[in-house]
Amino acid sequence: MVAKRLLLILITFLIILIPTIGAATLDVSQPIQVTDNEYYERGQSIIYDGSNYWLFYGRSASVTGNYGNDNPDTHDYEVYYKKANSIPNLVGAAATRVADGDNENVYLGETDSAYYNGYVRVYASVDQGDGTAELYQWFSNDGGATWEKA
């Protein structure tokens, strides 16, 4: 009876241990700031188009503080992006506003992005000023030189 219990304990131990043997480790690094603007920025999304990495984010038009000394939960964000051929090069890339007259009043600065069929696309919810918001999509197929809204 003792031998069976010992065998059961050994099998249980091996079931737990075997999957962890040779398992890959995950390196977790600290975040780094990739912009140098004084205004509050948030809502990042990143894509790769086969040549370049695109980092999209919302930048507040009015908030320069943070939760410690201000309230960044506003609806006055605009969508910006940085583009570079590698993730480390995004740090030094120029920040560019997605050029469109409707790129203002983005709700909390949240973005999402996608690359499909030659088009870079960025999405954001835009406050309509009446308690509602609409999901906007801007897209470019010329490297960000021009943007259209769908």
Q: CA dist 30 to 24, 33, 92, 117, Å?
A: 20, 10, 18, 34
> How many beta carbons lie within 10 A of that of residue 105, not counting itself?
18
Each domain of the chain, given as residue ranges in start order, spans 38-149
DSSP letter at 67 equals: T
> How many beta carbons lie within 10 A of that of residue 79, not counting itself?
28
Going residue by residue through the chain, which has 150 residues, state the pLDDT in tens, using 9 for 90 and above: 555 555 455 555 545 545 545 555 545 566 666 787 889 999 999 999 999 999 999 999 999 988 888 899 989 999 999 999 998 889 899 999 998 778 889 988 999 999 999 999 999 999 998 989 999 999 999 999 999 998
> How many beta carbons lie within 10 A of that of residue 33, not counting itself?
8
